[in-house]
């Protein structure tokens, strides 16, 4: 079993493992996986976990554009968090757990 914060981090990593995702999508997808464990995470907690993942080299923040270059890595900014997209780095891809693992490895139910 994992603790709540580690589980939240793992859920977010799973959410951004296969494509660039914005905060709205991450929040919605994380809520679905967390609800299996009767866990709620606030938007602020999700943002803090994203920032931690970036600080530890597991993820990067990007600005996306229809023009070249389509994705541009940027410094994480709380002021622009709603405009950013997130994706795992190679380090993050090596550490990510799949959805089935998450459904069976989360913290104990209350």
Range of the domain at 64: 4-95
Residue at 106 is within a domain: no
Write out the DSSP string of 65-85: -SSSSSEEEE---GGGGGG-E
Q: What's the domain count of the chain?
A: 1
Residue at 47 is within a domain: yes
Task: List pLDDT tens digits, range 4-49.
Answer: 899 999 999 999 999 999 999 999 999 998 988 889 999 999 999 9
What is the rounded (10 degree) CA torsion for 5, 37, 15, 32?
-130
d(CA 14, CA 64): 20
Residue at 109 is within a domain: no
E-state strands within 31-76: 59-64, 71-74
Question: What is the CATH number for 86?
Answer: 1.10.10.10
What pLDDT, on the 0 to 100 scale, is given for residue 74?
97
Residues in a beta bridge with 72 = 63
Residue at 32 is within a domain: yes
Residue at 105 is within a domain: no
Average pLDDT over every residue of 104-109: 66
């Amino acid at each position: 079993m994992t603790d709540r914060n580690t589980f939240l981090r793992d859920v977010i990593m799973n959410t951004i493992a296969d494509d660039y995702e914005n905060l709205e999508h991450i929040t919605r997808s994380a809520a679905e996986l967390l609800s299996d464990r009767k866990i709620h995470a606030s938007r602020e907690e999700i943002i803090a976990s994203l920032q931690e993942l970036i600080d530890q080299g597991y993820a990067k923040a990007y600005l996306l554009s229809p023009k070249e270059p389509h994705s541009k890595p940027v410094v994480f900014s709380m002021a622009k968090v709603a405009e950013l997209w997130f994706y795992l780095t190679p380090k993050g891809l090596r550490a990510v757990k799949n959805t089935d693992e998450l459904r069976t490895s989360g913290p104990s139910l209350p």
